Amino acid sequence: MEFLIICSKRDPASKNMYNFLKEDFKDTGRTFNKESVYKKGNTNLILMDTYPIFFDTFTKSFTPDVTIYASKHTAASKIPSLTVHSIGVYTNDTSLGGQAQTLGHAVPVYKSELLRQMTNWQNPKYDVTYEVTHHGPVLPTKPVIFAEMGSDLTGWKNEKAAEFMSQTIQKILKPLPKKREIAIGIGGQHYPKKFTKLALDGEYDFGHMIPRYATKEVTQDLLKQMITKSTPRPTIAIIDKQSTNKRGQIKEWLKEENIDLLEI
């Protein structure tokens, strides 16, 4: 398998992680966007001069099986956090990149293993969590994970956290077998505590997750994308029954996709 790690000059958390990643990689002598390309084993490391959520122009130069964007996490709460999520846009709002009502390709096993590895960060002030699928860029055929640290300038510049994240990302740069049932998550909040707990308990690996606020306008096509744009393909949809709009309609659509349902 081939991997690609993408970092950004304009993102302080991303640049922080890049500085530590680069120590473990070797300069290939190649350049991409006028920056050196670094490599370690089966993984390339690149730095770009744009924000991660808008960067999708690497596809002609690299053909990874999995792409990991090392990025900042921003939250109004400013709670220190390490997060991981898939990419895509459930609505027509593309102000944070991507394409309207279009999901990227999820890799549940790699995303969930990264989440579990991130729990080794021994700092009780930090939240370690999934985020639901959100923002760009959208690369329909390129499996992508966003690995983020935050949630404000203090968190982005935390060198110990950046070093930890750089080492943690490297732990998943290898073939990972499917050991758990693959799920999609329906409902809940932007930080889906129930789905995060199920993953950390080792019961499921989650691909795409849609929060309650997006289920108001969800379409049958978007639910289908949650299933088809994932490797491996999900076999179960887990629904937060206390925090989902249009639950009856969603269940009918999911039954048409021959996917099991579990309400929690």
Our measurement of the distance from residue 259's CA atom to the centroid of its chain's CA atoms, rounded to an integer in Å, reads 23
What's the one-letter identity of residue 246? K
pLDDT of residue 104: 96
Give the model confidence (pLDDT) of 43-81 as tens digits.
999 999 999 999 988 888 999 999 999 999 999 999 999
Question: Are residues 81 and 198 both part of a single domain?
Answer: no
Any idea what DSSP says for residue 170?
H
pLDDT of residue 110: 98
> CA 169, CA 82: separation in Å to the nearest integer?
12
pTM for the full predicted model: 0.97
Closest CA to 205 of 85, 113, 119, 84: 113
Peptide bond preceding 137 in cis form (omega within 30 of 0): yes
Domain membership of residue 141 (yes or no) is yes
Domain membership of residue 175 (yes or no) is no
User: What CATH number is associated with residue 141?
Assistant: 3.40.630.50
pLDDT of residue 142: 84
Q: What is the DSSP string of 42-105?
A: TEEEEEESS-GGG--TTTTT---SEEEEEEEEE-TT---EEEEE--EESSS--TTSS-TTEE-B
What's the one-letter identity of residue 93? D
pLDDT of residue 59: 85
pLDDT of residue 85: 98
Cβ contacts of 56-65, under 8 Å, gap ≥ 24: 56/136, 56/137, 56/138, 56/139, 58/4, 58/6, 58/32, 59/139, 59/142, 61/32, 62/2, 62/4, 63/2, 64/2, 64/3, 64/4, 64/142, 65/1, 65/2, 65/3, 65/143
Question: Are residues 151 and 193 both part of a single domain?
Answer: no
Place of tokens 């930080």: 191
Q: Which residues of the chain fall below pLDDT 50?
A: none
Dihedral angle over CA of 89, 91, 92, 97, nearest 10: -20
The structure tokens listed for 151 are 């949630």
pLDDT of residue 204: 98
pLDDT of residue 95: 95
Question: Are residues 158 and 212 both part of a single domain?
Answer: no
Question: Are residues 67 and 143 both part of a single domain?
Answer: yes
User: What CATH number is associated with residue 256?
Assistant: 3.40.50.10700
Give, to the nearest 10 degrees, the angle between helix 159-170 and helix 12-23.
60
Question: Are residues 74 and 132 both part of a single domain?
Answer: yes
CB 142 within 8 A of CB 105: yes
Domain membership of residue 176 (yes or no) is no
Question: Are residues 144 and 201 both part of a single domain?
Answer: no
pLDDT of residue 215: 95
Question: Residue 21: which domain range?
Answer: 3-170
Question: Are residues 159 and 201 both part of a single domain?
Answer: no
Question: Are residues 130 and 34 both part of a single domain?
Answer: yes
pLDDT of residue 226: 98
Domain membership of residue 97 (yes or no) is yes
Question: Are residues 53 and 94 both part of a single domain?
Answer: yes
pLDDT of residue 264: 96
Question: Are residues 14 and 134 both part of a single domain?
Answer: yes
For the chain, give percent helix, strand, coil, nearest 5: 30, 30, 40
Cβ neighbours of residue 115 under 8 Å, at least 6 residues apart? 84, 128, 129, 130, 196, 199, 200
Number of structural domains the chain divides into: 2
Domain membership of residue 69 (yes or no) is yes
